[in-house]
Amino acid sequence: MAPIMNFTCADRDIGLLVRSIQSGPENELITAFIEQMTPVLKSRKRHYAIFQEPLLETGFPDIVIVSYSPHVYDNWKADRNNLTTLDLKILYHLHFIGGAVAEKIEKQLGVDSKNLVRSLERLLGASLIRWYAKQWMPRSLKTRYAVGKIAAIEAKIKNWASAFKQAELNSWFASETYVLSPVAKPQEQVLTKSERLGIGIYSMPTEYNIKKITKSRRGILPSSYASWLFNEWIGRRLNS
């Protein structure tokens, strides 16, 4: 049984900020969901981390459950603790395009040359990129990216439209997105929208009854630099 890593508080040492807990029925729903899901996750063979309302460019997703392979972090380099958001944006871009010279990166991302050089130096020191065939190349994801799945869950008591909107935003970084609702039987139009958008629904009419009503469409990771953020937060915590 693997332990669950919980990220519920801000941790500036690893670069994680979270929103302060807002009391109310939605927070009660979130808390109950995490309490009931934790033993379920512990019973599985995988390793998991649970984030509660981490600060991202798109806002504060209510719950983010990440599965990861701990052995990928075995060769963690301390230089990775100093990587910035810009560094991860450049790293994701290199993985997306397969490699590029500095001038091409500057043009595509709109990064000035001085900041780009500093970022490339940090990524090189962290062994996440290399200079090969006269261009900057990313190193293998298999040995650098430990995350297997990122499931984002957005809790809402009544407002389905708002919940689906935020869940769509969460697909920017997550491989699976869900709406969490206390409604036992969502209306047909809600189910139709869920299927059309590829956003799953968790129903939790009581604090002891979680049911997956519809499944989420599965996406590929990393899907953005924010997908890398979760990978780095876990790695920094494990190697702190």
In this structure, are strands 147-155 and 63-68 parallel, antiparallel, or unpaired? Answer: antiparallel
Name which of 178, 189, 188, 187 is nearest 211 in CA terms.
178
- Give pLDDT tens digits for 9-27: 999 999 999 998 888 899 9
**Cβ neighbours, 10 Å, residue 35:** 11
Domains and CATH numbers, the chain: 4-69+146-238 (3.40.1350), 76-143 (1.10.10.10)
Nearest partner of 183 among 23, 24, 22, 25, judged by Cα: 25
Predicted TM-score (pTM) of the model is: 0.95
**In percent, how much of the chain has pLDDT > 90?**
92
Length of the chain: 240
